[in-house]
Amino acid sequence: MKMYYEKDVDSEVLVGKTIAVIGYGSQGRGQSRNMADSGLNVVVGLREGGSSWKIAKSEGMNVKTIEEATKIADVIHILIPDEIQADTYNKSIAPNLEEGNTISFSHGYNIHFKYIKVPKNVNITMIAPKGPGSMVRRTYKEGFGIPGLVAVEQDATGNALQIALAMGKATGLAKAGILETSFKEETETDLFGEQAVLCGGVTELIKAGFDTLVEAGYQKEIAYFETCHELKLIVDLIYEKGFAGMWNDVSNTAEFGGFVRRERIINEESKKEMKKVLEEIQKGKFTKEWALENTANQPMLNRYRAIEAEENIEIVGKKLRKACGLEKSE
Which residues are CB-contacts of 75 (< 8 A; sequence separation ≥ 6)? 14, 17, 18, 19, 20, 101, 102, 104, 163, 167
Please state, in angstroms and rounded to a whole number, the distance separating the CA atoms of residues 102 and 104: 6
Does 23 carry a binding-site annotation? no
Give the dihedral of Cα atoms 93, 82, 278, 208; nearest 10 deg: 170
Q: At what angle do helices 51-58 and 26-37 cross, to 10 degrees?
A: 20
Does 329 carry a binding-site annotation? no
Please state, in angstroms and rounded to a whole number, the distance separating the CA atoms of residues 47 and 67: 10
Does 190 carry a binding-site annotation? yes
Does 133 carry a binding-site annotation? yes
- DSSP class per residue in 68-117: HHHHH-SEEEE-S-HHHHHHHIIIIIGGG--TT-EEEESS-HHHHTTSS-
Fill in the amino acid letter for 196: A
Does 230 carry a binding-site annotation? yes
Does 155 carry a binding-site annotation? no
Q: 101 vs 81, 120, 158, CA distance in Å?
A: 22, 11, 12
Does 311 carry a binding-site annotation? no
- Give me the catalytic one of 77, 107, 112, 229: 107
Active site residue 77: no
Does 24 carry a binding-site annotation? yes
Q: Is 143 left (phi over 0), alpha (psi -120 to 50) or beta?
A: left
CA angle 271, 275, 281 (to 5 degrees): 145
Fill in the amino acid letter for 118: V
CA Rg value for the chain: 22
Which DSSP helix (H) or strand (E) runs through 2? none
As a whole number of angstroms, the longest Cα–Cα distance in the chain is 67
Q: Which residues are annotated as a binding site for substrate?
A: 251
Residues annotated as catalytic are 107
Q: Which residues are annotated as a binding site?
A: 24-27, 47, 52, 133, 190, 194, 226, 230, 251
Q: Which residues are annotated as a binding site for Mg(2+)?
A: 190, 194, 226, 230
